[in-house]
Amino acid sequence: MPSAGRVGFASWMSSLWLYTLLRFGMFFALWGILLLAGLGGLFAALIALLLSIPLSLVLLARPRARVAAQLEARLAAQREARADLDSRLDPEHHDD
C-alpha cells in the first residue's frame, strides 16, 4: 500500500527523462553555437562537452535536486517496506 509521501515510478522516471533531455539539449545547443562560431565539428563537440558539465551543475541544479530527492524518497520507501516485511516475517526480532 503506497504511503502519502511515496514517489511513483512514473513521476521519478519523468523527472529523470526531463533532466536527461535538458542535459542533451544544453550540449547540442552549445555544440551548435560553437559550430556557428566556426569551430570544427569534433573540436566543437569536445568543447561543448567540457562547457556543458559545469553549466549543467549551475543551470540544472533544480531538476537534478528533484531527481535526487525523488530517488531518495523511493529508496526510503523501499527500506521501510523491507523493514516492515522483516518485522512481519520475524515478529520476535527487535532492533532495541
Give the chain's mean pLDDT: 86
**Number of domains composing the chain:** 1
**Cell numbers 531527481: residue:** 67
- As a whole-number percent, the residues of the chain with pLDDT over 90 amount to 52
Residue 81 domain flag: yes
Measured from the Cβ of residue 61, the count of other Cβ atoms closer than 10 Å reads 10
Residue 58 domain flag: yes
The more confidently predicted of residues 4 and 28 is 28
Residue type, 14: S
Q: Contact 2/72 with Cβ under 8 angstroms? A: no
Residue 26 domain flag: no
Q: pLDDT value at position 41? A: 86
Residue 9 domain flag: no
Instruction: List pLDDT tens digits, range 41-73.
Output: 899 999 999 999 999 999 999 999 998 998 898
Instruction: List pLDDT tens digits, range 11-22.
Output: 778 888 999 999
Question: What are the cell numbers at 48?
Answer: 561543448
Cα separation, 45 vs 63, in Å, equals: 24
